[in-house]
Structure 1
C-alpha cells in the first residue's frame, strides 16, 4: 500500500512563486501517492532542472513535512542532498495525469550552498 501524499495542516500546494505551465494543473496532492512525488525532477525559477526529490519526510499526523532534494551528481554519485519544507514546493501535474513536475523558487547554486542533509 502506498502512503498518500498530503500537505501539512494550514499550507497549500503552490509554493511562494506560483508556477504555471501550459498543459499542467496544480496537483491535488491528497489524490497523489508518495511514489508519484519521490523521484520527480525539481525545476528552478527559470524552468531549468535543478535536482530530484529523493525522499519525503512524513510527520506523526501522516502529512508530508519535508522533502529531500538531491542536487548535482551523476547517477546518484556525488549528489548534494538538502532538506526543504514541503510547503516551498509547487507540484504540477499534466492535465492527463501522465507527468508530475515539482517547481521551486530557487537556483541550483543556492541549493548547493545549503547545508548537506545526511540521510
Structure 2
C-alpha cells in the first residue's frame, strides 16, 4: 500500500490544492475575507447585493449576521441589512450565496444607512432582526 506524503508547506506557499479539484468539497469553513464581497442572489438569479461585512458573536465565535449591501451603485445609495447568517445558502459552484427572498421583499423591509449603523451590541436589535426574518434566536 502506497502512502501519500502531504506537503502542507508547498500547498500554503502556492495556494494550490494538490489533492484534486474537489478536495475541499463539501465546503465547511471559509475565511471572512473570502465571504466579504461575495454576491448574494435569490433562487431566481436576481442580484440582491453583496456581503458588506460579518457580525461575529464574541462570546461563542459564531457568525450571527451578514450585512448585505442592497441597491447601491459604485458604493453610493442603497441600504444595508443585517440578515441572520443562517438564512444564506452557499452555492459552491457559482461562488455566491443564495437568499430565499425576492428583490421586492428587500425593497420593502427596514434596513440602515452605511453611515448610521444601529446599536449592534443591543440584544433587542438583533432579536428584532431574528423575529423579522423568522430565524431562531441566537443564545446570549
Q: Would the TM-score normalized by the shorter structure come out above 0.5?
A: yes
Task: Sort the Cα spacing of 1:111 and 1:27 in 2 relative to 1 into closer, same or farther, 3 A.
Answer: farther
Give the 5 Å matches for 1:1-119: 28-30=27-29, 32-60=30-58, 61-94=60-93, 100-117=95-112, 118-119=116-117
Partner of 2:121: none
Report which of the two structures shows the higher radius of gyration computed on alpha carbons: 2
Higher strand fraction (1 or 2): 1
Compute the displacement of 1:44 (Å).
Answer: 0.9
Q: After alignment, is 106-115 or 51-60 more displaced?
A: 106-115
Deviation of the 1:91 alpha carbon: 1.0
What RMSD, in angstroms, separates the aligned Cα atoms of the two structures?
Answer: 2.0
Q: Return 5+ residue gaps in structure 1 as ranges.
A: 1-25
2:120 is aligned to: none
Q: Which has the higher helix share?
A: 2
Which whole-Å CA distance do the structure 2 matches of 1:71 and 1:87 have between them? 18
Please report how far the alpha carbon of residue 112 of structure 1 lies from its aligned counterpart in structure 2 after TM superposition: 2.0
C-alpha contact (below 8 Å) 1:27/1:91 kept by paired residues: no
**Separation (CA, whole Å) in 2 of partners of 1:77 and 1:27:** 36
Separation in structure 2 between the aligned mates of residue 67 and residue 57 of structure 1, nearest angstrom: 6
For 2:91 and 2:50, the matched residues in 1 are separated by: 15
Could you tell me how far 1:71 is from its partner in structure 2?
A: 0.8
Q: Which residue pairs with 2:22 in the alignment?
A: none
Count of residue pairs the alignment pairs up? 90
Q: TM-score, normalised by structure 2?
A: 0.58
Q: Which runs of 5+ in 2 are unaligned?
A: 1-24, 118-140
